[in-house]
Amino acid sequence: MHSTESPPMKAKQAEPELATAATISETELGQQTLLDSADLAVVGPLLKNCPTKTLAAGEVLVHAGRPNEHLYLVLSGRVSVRLASAETTPIAEIGAGESVAELSVIDGQPTSACVVAEEDTRVLGIDEELLWILVQSSHAIAGNLLFTLTRRLRVGNQVIFEGRERYEQYRFHATVDALTGLFNRHWLNSMLPRQMYRAHLCERPFCLLMIDIDYFKQYNDEHGHVAGDRALGAVAQALQTCLRPTDMAARYGGEEFIVLLVDCPEDAAKTVAERVRTTVASTKIAFAQGAELPSVTVSVGVAEMTETETLESFIASADAALYRAKETGRNRVST
């Protein structure tokens, strides 16, 4: 079995019925991993009445979530394993000499995946009763079945691991602004109410900084949007150097940022805001080929949460303080 990245194949929806028994050559049996080292003189006669089926490319052998009565030996051709449905991307391929659908036969549960023929394929079906007769009659078959199930388990673990990695990546991108590396608005909408509740419950001071880059539209117009992106990144880096590990910064939207100052009264928050303002003003903004862009300045509004504060009023207070800072000349801090 090996992983594949081939595109999903449109599968035919009629599940095939197994044909009546057909002659299986000793050569075909000798190529089967399940029968490796088994005495074919003993097990061969047991398999002579097993039904076979020839599948056309795209034909479904096993549907996910349905009962299944047969373990299938792939005599020729190739099948793929697909989660959920026959239209999904294959997670594995199984070629001639391998088996498929072992678990559902052993535990009697509906199948957990879909099996589709990738090309014209011939399979032999072994039902549950015969499978256990084969296992009991041959230690080699029992060992081969155990080895096959172990490989299936490892593949399943790999699929789970890769799925977990993708989940973590999606979660990261859902909460982090790609341009600045700060948290995004989605994260802020979730985190801010929780921090407000915690501060109220613990009777601890909690402040917001609302930060806006001064004359950012003019900066974009004069230097271009690439330069504007560099300026946003520089401000984000400056913010991170000014904050404590417990403080949290997010890009609120456009050229605006919000900083959550946990366990921080207004006087201390004003000190942080002033440090942010001076740090940003002195931050150099690198551009292409070692060139530097003009520095930017920020205006900062500071608001401390009151006992009766709501989410909307808290943000509005910080926004009003920011407006005063901009109205009184910009590049300054206001409460």
Judge contact between 43 and 137, C-beta under 8 A: yes
Predicted confidence band at 176 (pLDDT cuts at 50, 70, 90)?
confident
Strands (E) located in 191-309: 206-213, 248-253, 256-262, 285-286, 292-293, 298-304
CA distance 3 to 308: 58
Token pair 């984000």 in the structure block, residue: 236
Domain ranges (residues) in the chain: 26-171, 185-334
Q: Hey, how many other C-beta atoms are within 10 angstroms of the C-beta on 134?
A: 23
Kindly report, residue by residue over 12-49, the tens digit of the pLDDT.
444 456 665 556 777 888 889 999 998 888 888 888 88
255 among known catalytic residues: yes
From the candidates 28, 98, 255, 309, which is the catalytic residue? Answer: 255
Report the mean per-residue pLDDT for the chain.
86
Sign of the CA dihedral running 259, 261, 267, 268? negative
Instruction: Give the pTM.
Output: 0.55
CATH of region 185-334: 3.30.70.270
Topology of domain 26-171, per CATH? Jelly Rolls (2.60.120)
Convert the pLDDT of each residue in 282-305 to its tens digit. 999 888 777 888 999 999 999 999
In percent, the amount of the chain with pLDDT more than 90 equals: 51
